[in-house]
Every structure is written in C-alpha cells, then in structure tokens.
Amino acid sequence: MPIYEYHCKDCGYYFDVKATIKEKEEGLKIPCEQCGSENLNQVFGGFAILGGQAVNVKSRDSQNGGGCCGGNSSCCS
C-alpha cells in the first residue's frame, strides 16, 4: 500500500498516511495528526540531485521539532 506524506499548513506538522491508490483517487479526507486541521499539502520527496551534487532537504523529524532526541538538543551535541 502506498504511503503519502502530508504537511499541515496550520501547525506545520509532517506525517504519513497509508492509503490505496483507489482511496487516493477518490480523494482522501484526512485530518492532521497534531491539530486536526484538514488544511494540508501533499509533500513530494525530500532529496534532490542538482548538477551532480546531492542536496539533502531538512528532515521531517527536525521540522517537527523531533530530530535525534525529540527536540532535546543536548543529547545531539
């Protein structure tokens, strides 16, 4: 089953949704896992290759305030 990544426009949270292609084509009505808003954008990829150099886009965990320790930067130093 495909996994689709979404970004909430209201709270900024990123999350994944598992849905069949048929469900996706029929239109998913999903709320944000963080705030319940339906004001979402689907996210496409997070890694790009430009001019032969790899460019890593910020990880979703760091954008959600998670990172390696759930937002506690002291353990990541």
User: Residue 50 sits in a domain of what CATH number?
Assistant: 2.20.28
Show the domain range for 40.
3-67
The answer to whether residue 45 sits within a structural domain is yes
The answer to whether residue 74 sits within a structural domain is no
The answer to whether residue 72 sits within a structural domain is no
Q: What is the pTM of this model?
A: 0.59
State the total domains in the chain: 1
CA separation for the pair 4, 18 (Å, rounded)? 6
The answer to whether residue 40 sits within a structural domain is yes
The answer to whether residue 75 sits within a structural domain is no
Provide the pLDDT confidence category of residue 71 given band limits of 50, 70 and 90.
very low
Provide the pLDDT confidence category of residue 67 given band limits of 50, 70 and 90.
low
